[in-house]
Amino acid sequence: MLPTRAAKQNPETAAFWDGCRNSQLVLPRCDACGELIWYPRRFCPFCASTAVTDVAVSGRGTVYSFTVIRKGVGPYRDAAPYVLAYVELEEGPRIQTNVIGVDPETVHIGQPVHVVFEPVLDPATPDQPPIAAIPRFMPSTEEGSGSR
């Protein structure tokens, strides 16, 4: 598994990270204009509304762009090669993430993917339940993607 850690949370992003812990991808949607907003915030950059509601999205998408990182940095120093990607969610937003569970050399633009939530364990108590989860994406079967 690639390195994981619990994200720093704040009042604007707690709903997103709580969603991840419950295996749901939760994005704010603007109450005024209806747009889904990435990255999560309690403000709509499309219409300047401060009223947003958290909604669960499908977690399905396609690879919009990707790179195979051959030289990892920081906690990923020994993790290369790994894939950093923009996934375009079925609902529209393009989000940065990793594509995992696949040979990096086979990842391609347009590839159908779906979200998985990787658990974050407390290094001090690794036998205890996860303290958080972070979203990454795995390839879906190409055949099944058209009917979804």
Partner 1 sequence: MSRRGAAFIAGAYEHPRRNIPDRTEAQIHAEVAVGALADAGLAMTDVDAYYCAGDAPGFGPISMAEYLGLKCRTYDSTETGGSSYLVHVGHAAAAIAAGQASVALITLAGAPRNGGTPPGAGAAFGSAPESEFENLWGSSIVAQYALAAQRHMYEFGTTSAQLAEIKVAASIHAQHNPNAMLRDVVSVDDVLASPLVADPLHRLDCCIVTDGGGALVVVSPEVAATLPRQCVKVLGQGEAAKHGNGGRIDLTYTGAVWSGPRAFEEAGVTVADIDYVSIYDSFTITVLITLEDLGFCAKGEGGRFVLDGRLVAPHGGLPFNTDGGGLCNNHPANRGGMTKVIEAVRQLRGEAHPAVQVPDCQIALAHGTGGSLATRMMSSTLILGVTDA
User: Closest separation between CB of residue 44 and partner 1, Å?
Assistant: 8
By beta-carbon proximity to partner 1, the closer residue of 20 and 145 is 20
* Minimum CB–partner distance for residue 143 and partner 1 (Å): 22
Contacts of 133 (CB under 8 A, 6+ apart): 20, 21, 23, 117, 118, 119, 120
State both tokens at 17: 């990270």
Residue entry with tokens 């159908």: 112
- Closer residue to partner 1, CB minimum distance, 86 or 140: 86
CB atoms within 10 A of CB 30: 20
CB 49 to partner 1: min, Å? 12
Minimum Å gap between C-beta 54 and partner 1 is: 15
Give residues in contact with partner 1 (CB under 8 A): 2-5, 7-8, 12-13, 35-41, 44-46, 64-76, 79, 82, 84-86, 92-98, 109, 134, 136
49 vs 140, beta carbon nearer partner 1: 49
Closer by beta carbon to partner 1, 99 or else 145: 99
Q: Which residue has the tokens 């696949």?
A: 102
C-alpha distance from residue 100 to each of 109, 111, 124, 136 (Å): 15, 13, 26, 7
Residue 127 or 135 with smaller CB distance to partner 1 = 135
Work out how close the CB of 1 gets to partner 1 at its nearest, in angstroms, rounded to a whole number: 12
Distance, CA of 142 to CA of 135 (rounded, Å): 21
The Cα 86–Cα 94 span in angstroms is 6
